[in-house]
Structure 1
Amino acid sequence: MPSWDERFRDGDYPRNPDPSPVLRRYVDSFPDGRALDVATGTGRNAVFLAEAGYRVDGIDRSREGLQIARQNAIDRGVADRTEWIRADVPTYAFPESTYDVIAISFYRAVDRFPDIKAALAPGGALFVQHHLRSSEDLRSGPSGDRYRYGANELLRDCLDLTVLYYDERTETRADGRSGAVVRLVARNSTGQRQSYPRVDPFECETGD
């Protein structure tokens, strides 16, 4: 299987894909400040968050992906609000209580998810979307189950936060491939009485 550098270089992955519709729908309810995009790739969510006014750190191990992300930020006029960090997520030292928003899109942070959650500032928002394990023969996402979430697994992993949105569904992409995907929005807060954002219904997408 080609490396991510090769996939980005050869154009197998979109160079400037749209941000996640769920993230776009909820961003106005998130606190202002600093954001982190884990496994940013070509910066689809990082650049969007910078356009929304955040100071954004985008982490990825792919040099080629980060070069594209950096150019995307320049093209969209937000280069001064983005920092691109070439690092391996499994060994990266996530700073505690630092980020007001953390996004993870189609990357399974095996063994590092508690550290990523600990990087949320009090009241900070977490957005995650990723592939699910499925009994169906689906064509998108990782080939094995180790890097997919099981049913309700992501929800259970976030019960120490306030879950604002959660869904699991099978979707068909524009290229005809189907995928089972989970999406979550949560806030780093606890307590039985809280405020909750008002958001309109939206459509979601399947990704790589």
Structure 2
Amino acid sequence: MWDQRYAVDEYIYGTEPNSFLAEHAEMLRGPVLSLAEGEGRNGVFLASLGLKVHGVDGSNVGLVKAQALARSRGVEIQTEVADLGVFEPVANYYGSVVSIFAHLPSAIREKLYPLVERCLKPSGIILLEAYSEDQLVCDTGGPKDADMLMTLAKVEQEFPNCEPILLRKLEREVCEGIYHNGVASVVQFIGRKKP
């Protein structure tokens, strides 16, 4: 599905970074692991700040566009085609992990998120934004499956080894290309790996 969705000339989620990520990017340290990097807008932005970025995504088509965007901006990012259901990041390696609208079934999150915590260095940061379960009634983006959407309780349960710096649910205007557009209900989380 994602190869097909990305197989157009335009960047379907735009080329500018997610606004929540941009607002808090100064908290991030490299190397940064970016989950579901897609067409590269977030990884390229982080690379422009001087951070080393490793973007993973299941779509080779998306990551080819990510590399093109990086070249056009004069930065480098590392990309890897990976199925997040079986992806195992290197332990104790990353300064930060970024997950922007990376909606995954709970069965995958249960395997992946402990590995995400493990891959962070001590005091490493995870920054996540996802649509909340309340987004089901909105027509402004995101999956139509509550299992793939987030709640505050899910975040707390699924990242037990990260101390919340910020954890909130809110409605905000999301303007990110043709698939994320309009007022949306989101969960935002910034957590620091416990010592």
Q: Residues 6 and 120 from structure 1, CA distance in 2 versus in 1: closer, same or farther, beyond 3 angstroms?
A: same
Structure 2 matches for 1:5-20, cutoff 5 A? Answer: 5-10=3-8, 14=12, 16-20=14-18
Code of the residue aligned with 1:59 in structure 2: it is V
2:168, 2:189 within 8 Å by CA — same for their partners in 1? yes
Paired position in structure 1 for 2:147 = 146
User: Which residue, 28, 33, 37 being the options, matches 2:26?
Assistant: 28
Code of the residue aligned with 1:130 in structure 2: it is A
- Once residues 27 and 173 of structure 2 are traced to their aligned partners in structure 1, the CA distance between those partners, rounded to angstroms, is 29
Q: Aligned with 1:78: secondary structure? A: coil
Paired position in structure 1 for 2:2 = 4
- Once residues 9 and 172 of structure 2 are traced to their aligned partners in structure 1, the CA distance between those partners, rounded to angstroms, is 23
Q: 1:104-126 deviations in whole A, cap 9, x for unaligned?
A: 11113422111111111112111
Paired position in structure 2 for 1:129 = 129
**Alpha-carbon deviation of 1:9?**
1.4
User: Which residue, 173, 184, 188 being the options, matches 2:189?
Assistant: 184
Count of matched residue pairs: 185
Structure 2 matches for 1:1-208, cutoff 5 A? Answer: 3-10=1-8, 14=12, 16-31=14-29, 33-79=30-76, 82-109=77-104, 110-111=109-110, 112-134=112-134, 137-139=137-139, 140-173=141-174, 177-190=182-195
Larger Rg: 1
Q: 1:132-181 deviations in whole A, cap 9, x for unaligned?
A: 11286211210111111134321343342221112211234457644211
1:38, 1:105 within 8 Å by CA — same for their partners in 2? yes
Code of the residue aligned with 1:5 in structure 2: it is D
Identity of aligned residues (%): 23
Q: Residues 15 and 182 from structure 1, CA distance in 2 versus in 1: closer, same or farther, beyond 3 angstroms?
A: closer
- Once residues 165 and 19 of structure 2 are traced to their aligned partners in structure 1, the CA distance between those partners, rounded to angstroms, is 15
Unaligned segments of structure 2, at least 5 residues: none
More helix by share: 2
- Once residues 129 and 155 of structure 1 are traced to their aligned partners in structure 2, the CA distance between those partners, rounded to angstroms, is 14
Q: TM-score, normalised by structure 2?
A: 0.85
Q: Residues 131 and 95 from structure 1, CA distance in 2 versus in 1: closer, same or farther, beyond 3 angstroms?
A: same
Code of the residue aligned with 2:170 in structure 1: it is R
- Once residues 189 and 136 of structure 2 are traced to their aligned partners in structure 1, the CA distance between those partners, rounded to angstroms, is 22
**Alpha-carbon deviation of 1:42?**
0.7
Unaligned segments of structure 1, at least 5 residues: 191-208
1:34, 1:54 within 8 Å by CA — same for their partners in 2? yes
